[in-house]
Structure 1
Amino acid sequence: MSGLRIAGVDEAGRGPLAGPVAVAAVILHPDRPIAGLGDSKALSEARRDALEPLIIEHAWAWHVEWVLPAEIDRLNILQATLAGMSRALRALQPAAEHALVDGNRLPRDLPCPAEALVKGDAREPAIMAASILAKVARDRLMRELDDRFPGYGFAVHKGYPTPDHLEALRRLGPCAQHRRSFAPVRACLQPTLPG
């Protein structure tokens, strides 16, 4: 596959109760390597933040696609994430000629041939780059949502189901960014029956 424009695709935010999933697609330029790439989950926040502008500057093409809570609730988390992966790949200019997707599932409607790579974010530099872009973009957005929806702690837990988040959810009820199809959120929506 040498000489092909190969895109790495990965996501951040499938597990949280709130906020969108960020899906990134990145085509690394073969003549502009980026030192220090790795699985975004294994890198410190400072390292991810330092790598993001390098990836954007050196990549042949990149795109971050948002999968909003309403789409997640409508399709389910897996199908919504796969749809986001397809859209992220379609947005690349120049277009990818092949895609390497982190995980064990491929979207059905990809614009190019692709293969799924389990633990690809620890093995393939283009997926590592996508992993970093998705994570940094999502964390930044969750800090912004913390200002718009105070009291939930989004800047701290990024929407994941931590004890503090679950307590805030019980106390405040779901906000517009919560995924209503996820069980802990759904439980807060159901009226309590008189005892």
Structure 2
Amino acid sequence: MSHRTNGNRSNCCTAELERRLRAAGYRSIAGVDEVGRGALAGPVVAAAVVLNLDQIPEGIDDSKKLTPARRGSLAQEIRRTAVALSLALVESHQVDRLNVGRATRLAMRQAVEGLELKPNYLLIDALRLHGVAIPQEGIIHGDALSVSIAAASIIAKVARDEMMRQYDEIYPGYGFARHVGYGTLEHRQALIRLGPCAIHRLSFHGVIPDLFPDDLSAM
């Protein structure tokens, strides 16, 4: 079984999908999500998480809806209670070589393959993983609808943010600790001033300063 569900963003993140799948006989359900797909710098990071459905940390939700402190505390709880968990990343130079869509799927596939417990069903945010012989469901806005996908989004987000804080020390002046590689005004102005560094995605529009509007540097 492999299909895509078009979720409704107004619904709350719950374990309804997971419990329905468990009732259908699936015992190892992995949520899969990525962070960093749209960033101008840094890796794409994916996580795969198999939750214990009888011990789900309270408050799991789409990582974008949570404060950094709340994400951090939930990430610790998820790591403590999850049946299995795996992280994978694709570096910026690989994103340039593959394109971001392929890089995202590669990171997700590697995260799934890295699970110590092989899942028998995948709930994936928005995408399907071709060539992965596991029943799966791609759910639009899945990180707001499935607690397993939301858990994966939290794990991936916390891990990537920490990486970008470390990169901020290695490549000072860009503000990576604040914008974590996304195309904020601060970041774009730093690119004009400093040019790209080793973790920038040179294939992305706007990373090469000449691609910016002439008046951006005056902002």
TM class by shorter chain equals over 0.9
Report the secondary structure of 2:206's partner residue. helix
Contact persistence 1:9–1:24 (CA under 8 A): yes
Partner of 1:192: none
Residue 180 (structure 2) pairs with residue 136 (structure 1): no
Cα displacement (A) at 1:175: 0.4
Q: Which runs of 5+ in 1 are unaligned?
A: 190-195
Give the corresponding residue for 2:180. 158
1:70 match: 93
Asked whether the equivalents of residues 195 and 209 of structure 2 are also in contact (C-alpha less than 8 Å), the reply is no
Question: Quick check: 1-10 or 143-152, which moved more?
Answer: 1-10
Note the 1:103-142 alignment, pairs <5 A. 103=126, 105-142=127-164
Q: For 2:69, which of 8, 33, 46 is the aligned residue?
A: 46
**Shift of residue 112 of structure 1?**
1.4
TM-score between both structures, scaled by the size of structure 2: 0.83
Of 145, 148, 155, which aligns to 2:167? 145
Q: Where do 1:150-189 residues align within 5 Å?
A: 150-188=172-210
Partner of 2:32: 9
Look up the match of 1:83: 106
Alignment RMSD (CA, Å): 1.2
Displacement of 1:14 in angstroms is 0.9
Correspondence for 2:4: none
What amino acid is the match of 1:68? Answer: E
Q: Residue type of the partner of 1:113?
A: P
Q: Is the 8 A contact 1:40 1:48 kept in 2?
A: yes
In the TM superposition, residue 186 of structure 1 has moved relative to its aligned partner by 3.6
Q: Which 4+ runs in 1 deviate beyond 6 A?
A: none
* Residue 121 of structure 2 is aligned to residue 95 of structure 1: no
Q: Distance in 2 between matches of 1:92 and 1:188?
A: 43
Of residues 38, 42, 59, the one that matches 1:19 is 42
> Are 2:191 and 2:209, in contact at CA under 8 Å, matched by a contact in 1?
no
For residues 76 and 210 of structure 2, what CA distance do their matches in structure 1 show? Answer: 40
- Counterpart of 1:35 (choices 44, 47, 58) is 58
Distance 1:67 1:79, change over 3 A: same
Q: Give the conservation status (yes or no) of the 8 Å contact 2:191–2:208.
A: no
Instruction: Give the conservation status (yes or no) of the 8 Å contact 2:93–2:201.
Output: yes
Counterpart amino acid of residue 205 in structure 2:
A
Instruction: Point out where structure 2 has 5 or more consecutive residues left out of the alignment.
Output: 1-20, 212-219
Identity %: 46
- Change in CA separation of 1:71 and 1:45 when aligned onto 2, cut-off 3 Å: same
